[in-house]
Structures are given as C-alpha cells and as structure tokens.
Chains A and B, each alone.
Chain A
Amino acid sequence: MIRYRNLIEALDAAPGERPFVTAWVNEDEQETVTFAEFRRRARLHAGVLRANGVTGGDRVIIIVPQGILAMTVFVGAMMLGALPALIAYPNDKVEPSKYRFGVAGVTANLKAKVVVIDEEFPDEILGHVSLGEETSLLRVGNGTGLFGREEFLASPDQCDGVAFIQHSAGTTGLQKGVALTHAAVLRQLAHLSEGLKIDSATDRIYSWLPLYHDMGLIGCFMLPMAYHVPVVMQSPLDWVMHPETMLQVISEHKCTLAWLPNFAFQFVPRRTRPNRRARYDLSSVRIIINSAEPVRTSSMQEFQSAFAATGLKASALQSSYGTAENVLAITLSDIDRPSGPSRIWADGKEFRSSHRVVPVAEGTAGSVCFTSSGRLLPNHEIRIVSDTGAPLGESQAGEILLKSDCLFDGYYNRADLTAKAIVDGWYCTGDLGFRVDEELYVVGRKKDLIIVGGENLYPQDIEEIAASHPAVHDGRVIAMGVFNPDLGTEEIVIVAEVESEDLLANSVEIEREIRGQVIAALGASVGTVFLKPPKWIVKSTAGKPARSATFEKLQKEHPELNAE
C-alpha cells in the first residue's frame, strides 16, 4: 500500500531516532546516521543547492565516492524538486578512456545546473565533464560537504513528477538516463515491500552495490528510505578487495536482506577460505536476491553449499528479473518456497530448434536447466513475442515485452531512444524468456542469440561448454554468431582465453576438443575457435567478458571476419 505522495514525504515520516545508513569501512571504522540526521544533512545540502540557483526540474549531477555524503546530496536535490543523477566515480575497474567517454556523454545530455564533484576527482578527467555556461561546479570532500547554515524545508507539494534519473546498466558507454517519477518509484517499492514482506522493525539491509546501479539505488537506498529500514553499506571497491567482509558485516549487524548479481554467488565463496567460514553467522538472513544478470543454478548452489554451515537457510536464496526502465524489478520468486526458485529441465535439442520448452527429468542427457526469476509483480503484464511480434504461448521463448505501473517516463532528453523502446505502450526489454506455470524464465539477450541454419543457440550454453575445457580459463569465453556468406547463415565463433600462454602451443588439439564437446552437447558445429592468451578478452565494467567490444577487437585482428 502506498502511504505517501512522494519519496520525501516517505523520508519525513521515518522515526527520527532509528538508524538509517551505516557506512561500514571495517570493525573499527563505521558511521551511522539516523533518519533524523540524514534528513538534517539533506536539508542543509538542499539549502546550498538552492543558493546556487537549483529549482524544480533542474538536473544535479553527483560524482562523489559511494557513501552518506552522496546519498544526502541526492536527497537534498530531490527536496528541491530537482532531478539528481548519481554517476560512477572513477576507479581502476573502468578503463580511463571509456570512463571519459561515458562521463562526457552523460553530462552533456543532462545539462545540469550543478555538478557536485569530489575534491579528489582527477583533474585530467574533469575536462571531460560537460559544464554549460549556467552550470556551477561544487567541490566536496572530507569535512567540506555542501553544508550551509540553513536547512531547506521541502514542501510535500514541491516534489512531484520525475524524482531522479538513473542510468541504465554499466558505468561507461553512452548510457541512457532513465527518468523515473515519484509515483512509479513508490509503486515499485510497494510491490517489493509486499513481495519481500519487509518489516521495518526487524529487517536490516546489507549492500556493497554501487548507487549508480538500480539494485544499489532502488533496492538498497530508496527502499530502506521509504520503508524506514536500516541499511549497512560498504564501498564496492572495499568489497571487491575484501569480498569476505560481506559475511563479516552480515554477521555483525544481523542483516536480513541483500541483493547480489549472479557472479557474486561464486566470487564470495571462492575468496573465503573454508577454514574461516565457521566464524560467520548468516542465520539472520531472510533473503538474498540474485538479480541483474541471468540466474545460474550452479552459482546459487555453490554459495549455499559454501555457507550452509554458517546457518544460511536454503530458502534464503531467491531470484528476480528486472530492468532500470521499470525502476528495478519485474518479477520476484516466492520467498516462502523452502528450496528457493523453481527450476525446470528441458529437452535441449527441442529448445534450440523450436524455442519450445519440453520438460524432461532432471539430469536427462542433452537437457538444459533453467532457473525461474519468479512471478510478475502486481499490476505487471508481459507478452512473449516472436521475431515478427506475434504473441507466443506458455513454454515458448521469445522477447519479453512489458507493461506495468512502474514503467519509466522515457529516456531523459532522448525522445528518439524512447520511441524505439516503447512500442504501442509495451516496453521492449530486448531480453528473451519463456513462461511456465506463471513463472518467468529469462534465457538471455535477444541481440546475442546465435541462429545457425534455423537453430537457436544461446551463447551462454556454448560458453559454459568451452569454459569446462581444462586449458580454458573459467569465465573467459565468448561465443557469437558471425554470418557466413558461403553458407547463407551464421556460424559459431568462439573466443577463449587459455589458462597460460604456453598452452597456445597445443592450440590445434584444444580447438579440436572444444569443437567435439560442443557438437556432442548441442549437436551444433563450431565454425572457428580463436584461442587467445590470458587477458585478451575485453571486459565490461563488471569484470565480465564484453561481447561486442571483444568482437570488434577480433575483427581488427582477423579482418576475414568482416567479409559479408
């Protein structure tokens, strides 16, 4: 049930003495602000922003390291009816040229009234931040926040319409600014609160997720703010250098809820020594939601099995599917299901040839396993459609189209992109999936699908097979379809990094074995296997292989791939 007219009213209603954000650095260094203190700081920031000419509808860009300051400035801007946008702070995960390109594009599109930027922001990048004639640049840092002398008290009527702009996935490239209204965000939060059975008296959220990502911004900032739930946060960079601290924070603060992308379900167990796991207590955890990338059963099983002895309940690992354009989630698995999200085994050959799910028994030779992302949130409607736009029935995979009460208003200042994304009132997600028993199974991205002689192949399936070869580094494989004019269809091209450069001497044998494994498992022959030395494949900002950038690199090294 939505009780508030806007997000600021929801924040105002929070009990002042309740802890809101704890910024966790280590066991000796933590800062907790109550809801009252958070409101006070946000109002002071609002006063300074207003003194710099910010009014309703103006954009405020925030490029500040993750923490309470970034969050209070964000809310301070919202109090004025301005549209804040959090932009990723530069770090070593992002290639500098990509970051410069991304920040230049995003800031040019937003034409902000004020850019709030950390005092240590590198000077060599500052020149790429687009500053118009009317833009003020405010530098902030330790002890030099945007603190004026007067708190700005927002009128509840002041905050209406668009609440903020969140950027679609990633931190680089020309991201699309997703404009979200207070109403859409509050409706999404109401659905999440109901589906997750949020109890502000007992729940506590844990997060290392970046606030420029929808899971971080919505799941771990807006949700606790509007539903008055404490949240314990650490910086993504600290987490990636000390992944085990996630267990420490959850144990210390008895956190009950977290969101994680699929890769973290493998990343954390593999970087926590087995002899140290017993010191943690995860029995407080009610739900950890796997979202933001296709859910892999094996990843969730690895996490569960690694930490079962810490008291982690099997029912705690759940799944969701969502998109920034719908605020955050579209589906959510049933959190009361004791064994976690539903799974289904299907005949692999049938699925590839007809996109149809024909259930088979678990472990059947040639079967494929899918993990459900759950059921639709209330007031959400999807259509699964073919390439021609024809509606498909249950068990048929196709593109997911969405209508909901949480959909975005459009891409900020990009009517052209909005018109392409929303057709006849349906948002075209670009994701592929199917429904069985009212549950949605997401299988990949439409643009990545490989079609060989009419057979549909999902690159993830091919990549999993190639990565299982002992000479290939796990997770460093990309499969793609490249049109072969002689055949008149696509053929499979695999790029795989070997474990070490000396293995390239055996490339003929390794290639032969990979081809053999793919044909044995999928019945599809591979056109070309490119074995590459370690670190050859281009990575995304999340550290995962970047498909299109890797293909571009491959084309440069192998011009024969450009032949049409």
Chain B
Amino acid sequence: MTEEAKQMIEYILRRIRKPTLVIDETTPLVSSGLVDSMALGDVVLELEDLTNTRIPPGAIKPKDLDTVAKMFATAQRVGKPRK
C-alpha cells in the first residue's frame, strides 16, 4: 500500500469518526454507506491534495470513489495537473 493510500485511509477514518475501524484499499465505502454523499466533497478535496491533481466535476460518480484503490485509480484516470 502506498503512503498516500495510508494517508487517505487515516483521513477517511477521521472524517467518518470511526478511528478504530479497520479498512483497507478494497473496503467498499460509498456502497456500504460508510462514506455518505455529504462527505464525498471532503474526500475529493483530500484526494486532490494527496495526488496533487484536480478532479474535474462531472468526470466522476460516487461509485468511482467506492474504495481507496478506486479513488487513486480515478485520480490517475481523470485528474488534471493543478494550475
């Protein structure tokens, strides 16, 4: 697991207020309800910071952020360099 993925997992656990929960890169987050739509905006911001990219609106759907692995794959696929 990359350092960025570890940081994202730590961030998500803080954000969903479950610091003792164990999740990995493949744990479903959106489809399981752990991350709700109101938290998705925060997750996108964190993903942009960790990958130093900008995720264009309209390029992603909640299912693209369902696992930490999918988040980073999505950032690689649609992320643009930051201005």
Which residues of A line the B interface, CB within 8 A? 25-29, 91-93, 234-235, 237-238, 240-243, 245, 267, 271, 273, 473, 497-502, 534-535, 539, 543
**19 A-B contacts (beta carbon < 8 Å):** A26-B58, A27-B56, A28-B56, A92-B36, A241-B57, A242-B55, A243-B41, A245-B57, A267-B41, A271-B41, A271-B45, A273-B45, A500-B18, A501-B17, A501-B20, A502-B20, A534-B17, A535-B16, A543-B36
B45 near A93 with CB under 8 A, answer: no
Contacts of A26 in B (CB 8 A): 56-59
Q: Which single residue of chain A is at the shortest CB-CB distance from B43?
A: A241
Indicate whether A238 sits within 8 Å of B57 (C-beta atoms), given known contacts A500-B17, A501-B18: yes
B58 near A543 with CB under 8 A, answer: no
- The answer, yes or no, to whether B1 is at the interface (CB within 8 Å) is no
For B, the interface residue count at a CB cutoff of 8 angstroms equals 25
Indicate whether A543 sits within 8 Å of B37 (C-beta atoms), given known contacts A92-B30, A501-B18: yes
Chain B nearest CB, measured from A433 CB (Å): 28
Contacts of B61 in A (CB 8 A): 237
CA distance A535 to B40 in the complex (A): 15
Contacts of B33 in A (CB 8 A): 535
B37 near A500 with CB under 8 A, answer: no
Contacts of A235 in B (CB 8 A): 58
Contacts of A501 in B (CB 8 A): 17-20
Name the contact of A240 in the complex, choosing from B17, B38, B45 (C-beta under 8 A).
B38
CA distance A296 to B5 in the complex (A): 38
Chain A nearest CB, measured from B32 CB (Å): 11
A237 near B37 with CB under 8 A, answer: yes
A500 near B38 with CB under 8 A, answer: no
Chain B residues numbered 16-55 whose CB sits less than 8 Å from any CB in chain A: 16-20, 30-31, 33-34, 36-38, 40-42, 44-45, 55
B37 near A92 with CB under 8 A, answer: yes
B57 near A242 with CB under 8 A, answer: yes
Indicate whether A240 sits within 8 Å of B40 (C-beta atoms), given known contacts A25-B58, A26-B59: yes
Contacts of B40 in A (CB 8 A): 240-241
B41 near A241 with CB under 8 A, answer: yes
B37 near A91 with CB under 8 A, answer: yes
Contacts of A535 in B (CB 8 A): 16-17, 33-34, 36
Name the contact of B42 in the complex, choosing from A234, A271, A502 (C-beta under 8 A).
A271
A25, A27, A92, A539, most chain B CB atoms within 10 A: A92
- The answer, yes or no, to whether B60 is at the interface (CB within 8 Å) is yes
A242 near B30 with CB under 8 A, answer: no
CA distance A342 to B78 in the complex (A): 46
A500 near B19 with CB under 8 A, answer: yes
Q: Which single residue of chain A is at the shortest CB-CB distance from B55?
A: A242
B58 near A29 with CB under 8 A, answer: yes
Contacts of A238 in B (CB 8 A): 57-58
Name the contact of A234 in the complex, choosing from B36, B38, B44, B57 (C-beta under 8 A).
B57
Contacts of A473 in B (CB 8 A): 17
Given contact pairs A26-B57, A543-B36, a sample of 15 additional A-B residue pairs in the complex whose CB atoms are under 8 Å apart: A28-B56, A91-B37, A91-B62, A237-B62, A238-B57, A238-B58, A240-B40, A241-B60, A242-B55, A242-B57, A243-B41, A267-B41, A271-B41, A501-B19, A534-B18
